[in-house]
Amino acid sequence: MGSDLISNVTVIGTGQMGPGIALVVNLAGLPVNLIGLSIEEVARGLRNYQAALNFLVEHGAVAPEKAAQAQTLLKTSLNIEDARSADLVIEAIVEHLPTKQELFQRLDALCPKETILASNTSGLRISDIAACMTHHPERAVTTHFWNPGHLMPLVEVIQGEKTSDATVQKTYEFLKSCGKQPVIGRKDLPGQICNRLFQAVIREAIYLVQEGIATPQDVETAIKAGMGLRFPVYGPLEHLDAVGLDLGIAVQTTVLPSLCNSVEPGELLRSLVADGKLGAKSGQGFYNWSERSVTELQRTRDLFLVERLKEAHK
């Protein structure tokens, strides 16, 4: 069941992330009101919700009885005013600062002061999103569910410049009660915690290909068959402690001077975009997507993740 402190949740946004977040909360036994901007958007959100739930049932991660119960806990709405009754509102709309600011300003005036207002932003600062809140900015917090939200255990809880400790703790406990593995970021930086780590890896991966040091395939094999394989149980700081911090200094002294330290997007990445090679959606990026299927790649990802989810539930 969900946290005793939060018993009613509203999710605003029926795009990529909102339906999955709603599903997570429903599976924890709590009601959710999923709010969209139009009948068409809500219908699309319901299809995505159902597809995610069917996938979990099909692969044995959720029992059919539990799935049926979850569905009874979901309702939909086209009216932001319906968020007034929620203990927690999670925003999962377009990643556009002025649009998010406008929504949070409206929610700040609409919702009781006890209602937590959370953003699923993946890169914006909650301090900036909440900058227009004049009533209770202390109840604004980031809850970044990693995509796909119904399969990935990580949620980043980021404390803004005005976010209260109580808001952070209450949100953290709620997410734990939903079966997630939340982490807390006490400083509100762009990219939060995991995206900052991920962007450091992406920057070096692009650099290795750009400089002709390795092919895209070999860079990704090095990650998938190397450090990525042990990361679920053996993090980088645990690794340093295990091998010895003196050895860590020795390796860093040798390697760090040659790492890419650019504060701009990589030359190769900018060149590909300038040429209209935008990845799978244009058919060409680092790979030729006329010869590969991004749908199959994502399905392979989801099959891997659902097995990890099942293991965690044992």
Q: What is the CATH number of the domain that holds 144?
A: 3.40.50.720
- Is 215 a residue whose pLDDT tops 70? yes
pTM: 0.92
294 assigned to some structural domain = no
Is residue 1 included in any domain, yes or no? no
Nearest to 295 by CA among 305, 310, 312, 280: 280
Q: Which amino acid is at 208?
A: L
State the Cα–Cα distance between residues 176 and 179, nearest whole angstrom. Answer: 5
Ramachandran region of residue 97, left (φ > 0), alpha (ψ -120 to 50) or beta?
Answer: alpha
On whether residue 265 sits in a domain, the answer given is no
Domain contains 145: yes
> What local confidence, expressed as pLDDT, does residue 203 receive?
98
The mean per-residue pLDDT over the stretch 174-179 comes to: 96
Domain assignment present for residue 62? The answer is yes
Q: Is residue 257 part of a domain?
A: no
Residue 209 has pLDDT above 90, yes or no: yes
- Confidence grade of residue 4 (pLDDT, cut at 50, 70, 90): low
The two tokens of residue 22 are 């709603």
Q: Domain containing 150: what range? A: 9-185
Let me know if residue 20 belongs to a domain.
yes
Work out the pLDDT band at 312, boundaries 50, 70, 90. Answer: confident
Q: For position 5, what pLDDT does the model report?
A: 81
For residue 212, being part of any structural domain is answered with no
Domain count, the chain: 1
What end-to-end distance do the CA atoms of the chain give, in Å?
17
Which residues carry out catalysis? 122, 144, 156, 195
